[in-house]
Chains A and B, each alone.
Chain A
Amino acid sequence: MRGVLFALLLVGLLAAVPLWAKTYDLYLLSLAAANVIAAVGLALLTGFTGQLSIGNAGFLAIGAYGAALIVKHLGVEFWVAIPLAGLLSGLTGFLLLIPALRLTAIYLAIATLAFGTAVSEALPRWASVTGGYQGMRVPPARFLGLNVQNDVAMFYLALAVTVVMVLLARNLIRSRVGRAFIAIRDKPAAAQACGVSLTRYKALAFFLSALFTGIAGGLYAHVVGYISPSEFGLGKSINLFVMIALGGMASLPGPVLGAVFLTYLPHWLSGIRGLQDVLYGAALIGIVVFMPYGAWGFVRKWTAPDKVARLPRPVRAAAEFVLGRTR
């Protein structure tokens, strides 16, 4: 109940942002929204189902180019184009199922890497469709017959899509499907013995991850208005991975926090070239060494009941209220 309240409060606050924010702030927030969906998509696959992927930028590219081409050639509305792009990407996700059924750990990572590279190498060379290295302009989104051309409208669309996708992910994780994912991650053999079909649920995980990432790609294309192949290379796949590793990949708040943080970081550090990479790198090493469950795991560890109980009384009361634990 308290969680729902906090979520409503957060969405309400975000919805009020256009009242005072500048255009650029709204653009950044919309960008963050797209990244959040992509990070959640990767977390479903890597964090919850335990299938390592460093090729998800391939799905992002398929979603982005898919949405752009669908809008350009079919002229359909935003709410048709985005799910279609997601579906296109999701169906490609099934392709990766074939290696995923036979490979684990680092070998699967290599297969996904090969997929991502295959896509990012194909994009610039299939110039008649994708516009080659120069990239392509994305036609403005159409919504209820109107062209969405200002950032406020785009922001609300992005917010709406993100809320829907995050809610979807939340319900999914808490359902039978989510429990099957986690079982496959923790002990595939035991999961299978309990009647969880590895084939079916791995297929579902890849499909869902590709679907989420594809929708994120479609949203990204509309937010930025211009896409080119260089944005969807190995660097982007790693970027997505850093998001979930930093935030904590086996949770929902983790990827959300990670995605928002990594969207803003380049803009805070834009003054000094390279500093961002040093921080990313150091953060990655630090996470592997000190925080295997990411930032959210760290928060969870320090807000565990036994830790909270040792706090001084007034702080404890406040902490217990926020965390929703009352005695």
Chain B
Amino acid sequence: MLGQLVVSGLAAGSLYGIMALGLILIYKTTHILNFGQGDMVMFATFIAYLLLTLFRWPFPAAVLGAMVAGALLGALVDRGVMRWARNAPVTSLFIATLGVGMILQAVAGWIWGYDTKPFPYALRGRPLFLGDVVLRQHDLLVLVVTVLISLVLFLLFKFTKVGVAMRATSQNRRAAQLMGINVGRIGTLSWALGLGIGALAGCLVAPIVYLDLTSMILVMIKAIAAAVLGGFTSLPGAVVGGLLLGVIENLFGGYMPSAIAPLKTTFVFVLIIVVLVLRPHGLLGERTAGGHG
């Protein structure tokens, strides 16, 4: 029972974690909390759906297509909207991302309709049995993808020029600019990267929550919660926060008496408020993170 709850919690939690990675990539370099992430990811996932059903692409190709579409969308949002509002205070920029999200939701409704669509699992083989723990192949894939994404991002930030430029921009925008880094381009790149990863998360979560215009919103809110738990400015923190969130949610649902067990989502969000109060910088975030955003 315990092992099963932890394992499926980890699987759900990695999805929150990947989604949170996308949010934090954007937040770190541009200081914009992308509240439209859910809608943007929904849009990219619908592109994967289109590629799968209409063009009959194989699953990996469709996911790749969605990631490219997500990246393009991210770059477009940055160049087309955020660039125009760069003089507005940071706190009102998130309102603009909400606006983009609303427009995308309406457009997706016009293109794909308003009913819920089934989205195929990446792997549909027999579940694996590890002792008395059952693990679906899809969950295994999700865990592997999480590890891979973390590794790729780690290598990107550690060893590539672009990665170092991104880190520099997030630490001190003006100094980075003075060192010859094209801060605007780094911002666009972060948006593209953030939504590319978001699209991947969308394609992996869609089989579980099904695909409709709003199904990604709750996933996004939980990703925000995961990001808060991890410290909001820390990429490893996002993954750790996501995993922790998934496990806590599952354990609460599994062990609490049946009267209050359905309140697991409420419990998670109350927990987030408590974390924000006690440790605004989360588990792995920088100390300054909670103060003056």
Residues of A within 8 A of B (CB): 52, 98-99, 102-107, 109-111, 113-115, 117-119, 121-122, 125-126, 234, 238, 241, 245, 273-278, 280-285, 287-289, 292
Contact = CB atoms under 8 A, between A and B. Distances in A.
A104 B266 contact: no
State the majority secondary structure of interface residues on B: helix
Nearest to A285: B99
Contacts of B98: 238, 241, 281, 284
Interface stretch (B42-50, B68-76, B83-91, B169-177): B83-91
Contacts of A281: 98-104, 106
Given A277-B105, A288-B99, A289-B84, 19 more contacts: A104-B293, A106-B90, A110-B33, A110-B228, A111-B276, A114-B270, A117-B269, A125-B262, A125-B266, A273-B114, A274-B107, A278-B107, A281-B100, A281-B102, A281-B106, A283-B99, A285-B85, A288-B85, A289-B88
B293 A284 contact: no
Contacts of A245: 92, 95
B254 interface: no
A245 B103 CA distance: 17
B103 A121 contact: no
A115 B101 CA distance: 22
A122 B84 contact: no
B221 interface: yes
Interface string B200-242: 0000000000000000010001001100100010000000000
B161 interface: no
A120 to B, nearest CB: 9
B269 A114 contact: yes
A190 B92 CA distance: 23
A107 B99 CA distance: 20
Interface string B240-269: 000000000000000000000011011001
A106 B224 contact: no
Interface string B15-31: 00000000000000000
A121 B84 CA distance: 36
Given A117-B269, A274-B110, A292-B88, A107 B276 contact: yes
A107 B269 contact: no
Contacts of A284: 95-96, 98-99, 102
Nearest to B84: A289
Given A104-B293, A114-B273, A117-B269, A282 B221 contact: no
B81, B96, B225: which has the most chain A beta carbons within 10 Å?
A: B96
Q: Bin chain B's interface residue count.
A: 35 or more
A110 B100 contact: no
23 contacts: A98-B273, A98-B277, A99-B277, A102-B280, A102-B290, A104-B293, A107-B276, A107-B280, A107-B290, A110-B228, A110-B276, A114-B276, A117-B265, A117-B269, A118-B265, A121-B265, A125-B266, A241-B98, A277-B102, A280-B99, A281-B104, A282-B99, A285-B85
B96, B102, B114, B293: which has the most chain A beta carbons within 10 Å?
A: B102
Contact of A106 (B91, B104, B106): B91
A109 B81 CA distance: 22
A105 B289 CA distance: 11
A292 B89 CA distance: 9
Contacts of B232: 107
B249 to A, nearest CB: 11
Interface of B: 33, 81, 84-85, 88-96, 98-107, 109-110, 114, 217, 221, 224-225, 228, 232, 262-263, 265-266, 269-270, 272-273, 276-277, 280, 290-293
A147 to B, nearest CB: 35
Nearest to B281: A107
B88 A288 contact: yes
Given A103-B280, A118-B266, A234-B217, A278 B91 contact: no
A53 to B, nearest CB: 12
Contacts of A105: 90-91, 292-293
A218 B275 CA distance: 32
Contacts of A278: 102-103, 106-107
A292 B280 contact: no
A276 B89 CA distance: 26
Contacts of B89: 292
A110, A115, A275, A276: which has the most chain B beta carbons within 10 Å?
A: A110
Contacts of A106: 33, 90-91, 94, 293
Contact of A275 (B99, B106, B225, B269): B106
Contacts of B85: 285, 288-289
A107 B106 contact: no
A102 B6 CA distance: 33
3 interchain residue pairs of minimum CB distance: A284-B99, A281-B102, A274-B106
B90, B228, B276: which has the most chain A beta carbons within 10 Å?
A: B276
A288 B90 contact: no
A52 B280 contact: no
A276 B277 CA distance: 37
B225 A114 contact: yes
A288 B228 CA distance: 26
A109 B245 CA distance: 20
Contacts of B103: 277-278, 281-282
B228 to A, nearest CB: 6
A105, A285, A287: which has the most chain B beta carbons within 10 Å?
A: A285
